[in-house]
Each structure stands twice: as C-alpha cells, then as structure tokens.
Structure 1
Amino acid sequence: MDLSRPLMTVTPTLDGDVLAVLANHDGIFTTGQLHRLLARHSEEGIRKVLRRLTKQGVVLSDRVGNAFAYRLNREHLAAEHIIGLARIQKTLLERIEDRLESWELPPVYAAVFGSAARGGMTEDSDVDLLLIRPDDADDDQWETQVHELAVEVTRWTGNDTRPLEFTEAELADRGYAEAVLRDVARDGLTVAGSRTWLTGHLRKGKG
C-alpha cells in the first residue's frame, strides 16, 4: 500500500489522486489548484477526470468567475467510502494506537517513521515502527506483543512491518548519535507516549 496515494488500493488512475485531494479538504479547487498539488499529472488530464467524476455525480462543479471550481459531493452514496480510503493513514495510526493501549506492557514511546511518515511510501516500502521498551519489561511477553503487532500491521497494509526497539536506557545512551532517532523526532508520527519525552531524552543523550 502507498499511504501517500491511498486510493491506489482500488484504482491506479489519476481519478484516485484527484478524489483523495477532494476528500481530505472541505474547500473547492480549480483545475489549476489541483494541478499544483498533483504536479505529476497534466492539467488537461486532471480536467478530463473532473468532467468524468462530475458526470458520475461524485464531484460537484461551481462556476467562479470565468472558471469552474470542484468539490466532493459528500452526499453521494460513494462519498463515505472515498473519504474512508483517502484517510487510510489516519485509520492505520488509530489502529496502532488502540493496539498499543491494550498491551499489558505498553511502550514508553512509539512512532511510525520513515517513508510511511514522510509521505514517500510505495507498495514495496516497509512500515517502520519505533518502540521504546520499559527497562523492566519481561522479555518473552514484550517480544510476543511486538511480533503480534507486526503481523497485524502487515495484514492491514500489505507491507512488511519493521519494528525498531530500544530500551529506555539504550535511548539515553545513544542520544542524537543515532540518525534514525533524529528522523523520528523530526518526522515521526507518535502513536504512544509524548514526542516531548522523546526529544528530552535525546537531548540528555547528546549531553
């Protein structure tokens, strides 16, 4: 799955990219505005897609001066499903959060990072997951939880899941010497704990 182009799960065409933009915003867009957001596609291609989607009724067009502006028809029967697909990344993060909250040994901090967080994911990318483990966690119980979560995330997305684990003590020792932790602090999507806690510990490690 490509979380940055979520409707590719059902359609690899430009239609999915256009619908994803319209579904994630309540405002209206001209063809030119959509082209600036979807620069990989031609403006003429976007215009053709909008005409087709307008005929289907899933997109509404409004005349604004000499141009037309477009928005998702949120009352259309297909709209709730389009919106659900467009918000797949949010749904994934919420599912991971729910699983981590249910753990008997919850992580001190956890975040999705890498391409899944930066918006550069493809169907071949891994889902990278940072897990900061309590120093006193039971090894077997912790490893079972992590394995089960990795299996679930892969089943949800179709992508391999790669947990990266540190104990609290290891995090303090590594600090900003670890490039991956700097990446998580900058771009990671927190799913357990507080980013402030993470950056505070990294500063301690740097000192």
Structure 2
Amino acid sequence: MQFSEPISAAFPGLHGRVLGVLARTERALTGRAVAGLVRPPASTSGVQKVLDDLVRNGLVVAEPAGRAKLYTFNRDHVAAPAIGELANLRDLFLGRLRSEAETWEVPAASVWLFGSTSRGEGGPASDVDILVVRPDDVSDSDPRWLAQLETLAGHATRWSGNPCNIVEYSTADLQRLIRRRERLITELRRDAIPLAGAPPHQTLTRKIA
C-alpha cells in the first residue's frame, strides 16, 4: 500500500492522488492548491488536466472564483462512499491492527506502530514496523505469545500488501533503552502511534533509576 496516498492501491496514477486530496477535505481548493497537496508531487498542468476530467465525470464540482476555479469532491455522487473509504484506507488499516492487538489472549504491555507507516510516508515496498512490549512476567518463548506475534505480522501483510517487521522488547529491556537514550526511543517519542496497552507518552518517560 502507498501509505502516503492509500487510494493509489485501487486508483494508481494521478487521478487517484487528486481524488485522495479532495476526498479528505471539505474545503474548496484551487487547482494550484490541489497540486501542492498531491503526494508524490505532480505538475500543476497535469493536476489541472485530471481535475477537468474528474469534473466531466461528475466526481468533482468546479465553481468560479474570480479568474480561478475552486474544486470540491462531489459527495452526492454514487461513487463517493467507495472513494471516501479508499481515501481513508490507512485509518481502516490502523483500526484492524488495534482490534487484533487489543484482544490478545496474552496482553502486551504496549503495541505501537512506528517508522514510515506511522508517519504516512511508506510506499508499497516499505515495512510496517510494529513495536511490541512484552510484560516481564511473560516468557519470550511462551507459545501463545509467539503465536500472537506471528498472526499479527501475517495479518498486517495481508491487509496492506507490505512486509511487517515486529520489534519486540520486554518492559525491562525498553527501560534500559530509555536510560541509554537510544535513537529508537527518540523515533518512538516522535512518531509512534498507540495500538494497544500503555501509550508512548506514558511509557517513554525517561527513568533515572
């Protein structure tokens, strides 16, 4: 999945990226503004051609605004609900991860998404990076625990098409990383998205002892 523009999974090319921008906002945007929000970037002339095509097909509404035009996604179009879901595939993906991690038979102390996927920058070849904090009273060889990790990784790949990389630490190991001010901790504080258990802001407070 192209996490920077998930709709590209079903609508590859500039049409999907332009639709994604408009479907995620209620604001009316000029063609230049749409071009500035498209990721990966595209030329203003290319975006304008796509907008004209989408207007002809009724998916986008254009209204004059002086010498310019303002464009909005036509939410009354019969295709609008499907396009809206496609534009928000990342949120649906996160919801599935949360639903699974929150119902583990052996609860994790914390489960967080981090890396490029958490920042909304990952592409089809990017790993889905998930950090799992194992309670200290759970053995790292517990078959139930290992089965949960394997199932989550498999589901994350099937749901997104991206390889999944699970990074596992015990609670004590994570505290040691915090005390040593490891680079991973800085990244987690900046980017981690909570999926289950204690959230990053609660867990990553540096311990002095």
| TM-score bin (small chain) | over 0.9
- In the other structure, the counterpart of 1:164 is 167
Pick which of 160-169 and 31-40 moved more: 31-40
- In the other structure, the counterpart of 1:120 is 121
Map 1:1-207; keep pairs closer than 5 Å.
1-38=1-38, 40-138=41-139, 139-175=142-178, 176-192=180-196, 193-200=198-205, 203-204=206-207
**Does the CA contact (< 8 Å) of 1:185 and 1:198 recur in 2?**
no
TM-score by length of 2: 0.92
> Aligned partners of 1:180, 1:88: CA distance in 2, in Å?
27
> Aligned partners of 2:149, 2:200: CA distance in 1, in Å?
20
Q: CA deviation at 1:177?
A: 3.1
Q: CA deviation at 1:173?
A: 1.2
- For structure 2, the residue ranges without an aligned partner over 5 or more in a row are none
> Aligned partners of 1:153, 1:38: CA distance in 2, in Å?
26
Give the structure with the larger helix fraction: 1
Pick which of 101-110 and 143-152 moved more: 101-110
> Aligned partners of 2:199, 2:12: CA distance in 1, in Å?
36
> Aligned partners of 1:13, 1:66: CA distance in 2, in Å?
28
- State the Cα deviation string for residues 109-142 of structure 1 (Å, max 9, x = none): 1111111112321111110001111111252211
Aligned partner of residue 21 in structure 1, secondary structure: helix
User: Aligned residue pairs: how many?
Assistant: 204
Aligned partner of residue 102 in structure 2, secondary structure: helix
Question: Which structure 1 residue ranges, 4+ long, deviate > 4 Å from structure 2?
Answer: none
- State the Cα deviation string for residues 14-37 of structure 1 (Å, max 9, x = none): 111111111111111101111222
Q: CA deviation at 1:162?
A: 0.6
TM-score by length of 1: 0.93
- State the Cα deviation string for residues 83-112 of structure 1 (Å, max 9, x = none): 111111111111111101111212111111
**Does the CA contact (< 8 Å) of 2:185 and 2:204 recur in 1?**
no
> Aligned partners of 1:112, 1:195: CA distance in 2, in Å?
10
Percent identity (aligned):
35
